[in-house]
Amino acid sequence: MAADEAEPGALNTLISQGRDYEIVEVDKSGNLLHKWRHTKDGRVSKLAAPKDTDGSFSRLFRECFLPAGFPHSVSEDYLAYQLCDSLQAFFSTIISLLASRALLQGLGVGDASSSTTFAVFLTILKDAMSRIATVIFAYKFGLRIEPEAKRYRFLADVFNDTAFFLELYSPYLGSWGKIVALSTGEALRALCGVAAGASKAALSVHFAKHDNLAELNAKEASQETAVGLFGLLAGSFLVKHIGDKGSVLALTIVLVIAHLLTNYIGVC
């Protein structure tokens, strides 16, 4: 007889009667971890660990990327959201590579007539705008994000994609145009960082059911890292083979639409 199946106080009765009983250890999701048998002659022996019916790769994948006790340890909408979040991260990684190439061109890389002083000044200005935007946005909207976490999670990617387009066009602008475009883009990316970080924290609280918030955030970071690696591979291939302005713009528009669409499906 298992101890968890006994009535309150029945364990003491089993011991006093000299009967065999089993003691089981389960996690917060009710999954069996260990089992022991206590025999009537007083011996305690550990029974064989429960067999995992999944293959070794499946088990490794689950342990690396999913919270312990999944799916019981998270809310019902967790998996659907994470699938969409992973897809949008994949698209975002590719867009960022295309924008990074344009950003380097905007800073003068490959242009013999460009000034290193101008590039340094522009980098400093971008960083300053980012910090100022972060402080102002957190001050004005910090209390509004949690009640409308899904809205701000989507809005964060709108900010980010707008910044990508500004960087994409920066090489074709004059000096002052580059300053305005890249500084504005960096400010928008800072707004994205605040909105995405705060809204993700609120969503994680919603998804975590068994006081597993820290683990859930750690596994989400692992998911984003793995997806980002695939995005880097795909993006590197595209950056190498697509270079003309029209093709890059068309590809970016398609990727941005896919990025925002998957994000919208995930949060709505």
| CATH code for position 76 | 1.20.1250.20
Co-location of 67 and 118 in the same domain: yes
Encoding tokens for residue 263? 């994000």
Residue type, 98: L
In a domain, 20, yes or no: yes
Domain containing 96 equals 63-267
Co-location of 125 and 255 in the same domain: yes
pLDDT in tens, the chain (268 residues): 444 444 555 656 666 666 777 777 666 655 666 777 777 676 777 766 555 555 678 878 888 898 888 888 888 899 999 999 999 999 999 999 998 888 787 666 656 566 778 778 888 999 999 999 999 999 999 889 988 998 999 999 999 999 999 988 888 888 888 889 999 999 999 999 999 999 998 999 999 888 888 989 999 999 999 999 999 999 999 999 888 888 888 999 999 999 999 999 988 7
Rounded Cα gap, residues 249 and 171, in angstroms: 13
Co-location of 68 and 47 in the same domain: no
Encoding tokens for residue 17? 């009667």
Co-location of 135 and 81 in the same domain: yes
The confidence score (pLDDT) of residue 72 equals 82
Co-location of 117 and 194 in the same domain: yes
In a domain, 97, yes or no: yes
In a domain, 137, yes or no: yes
The confidence score (pLDDT) of residue 111 equals 60
In a domain, 57, yes or no: no
Is 171:105 a contact under the CB 8 Å cutoff?
Answer: yes
CA dihedral of residues 180, 183, 184, 189 (deg, nearest 10): 160
Co-location of 157 and 224 in the same domain: yes
> Quick check: bond before 67 cis, omega within 30?
no
Co-location of 98 and 190 in the same domain: yes
The confidence score (pLDDT) of residue 141 equals 92
Encoding tokens for residue 207? 């998804």
Co-location of 162 and 261 in the same domain: yes
Co-location of 25 and 124 in the same domain: no
Burial 145-163 (b: 16+ CB within 10 A, else e): beeebbebbbbbbbbbbbb
Rounded Cα gap, residues 25 and 21, in angstroms: 14
In a domain, 89, yes or no: yes
Co-location of 134 and 157 in the same domain: yes
- Range list of β-strands (E), the chain: 21-26, 32-38, 44-46
> For the chain, what's the residue count?
268
Co-location of 202 and 133 in the same domain: yes
Co-location of 43 and 176 in the same domain: no
Encoding tokens for residue 167? 């960087």
Long-range contacts of 259-263 (CB under 8 A, 24+ apart): 259/88, 259/91, 259/92, 259/95, 259/157, 259/161, 260/88, 260/154, 260/157, 260/158, 260/161, 262/84, 262/87, 262/88, 262/91, 263/84, 263/85, 263/88, 263/153, 263/154, 263/157
In a domain, 42, yes or no: yes
In a domain, 115, yes or no: yes
Q: Based on the structure, what is the number of domains in the chain?
A: 2
In a domain, 56, yes or no: no
The confidence score (pLDDT) of residue 24 equals 72
Is 238:98 a contact under the CB 8 Å cutoff?
Answer: yes
The confidence score (pLDDT) of residue 2 equals 46
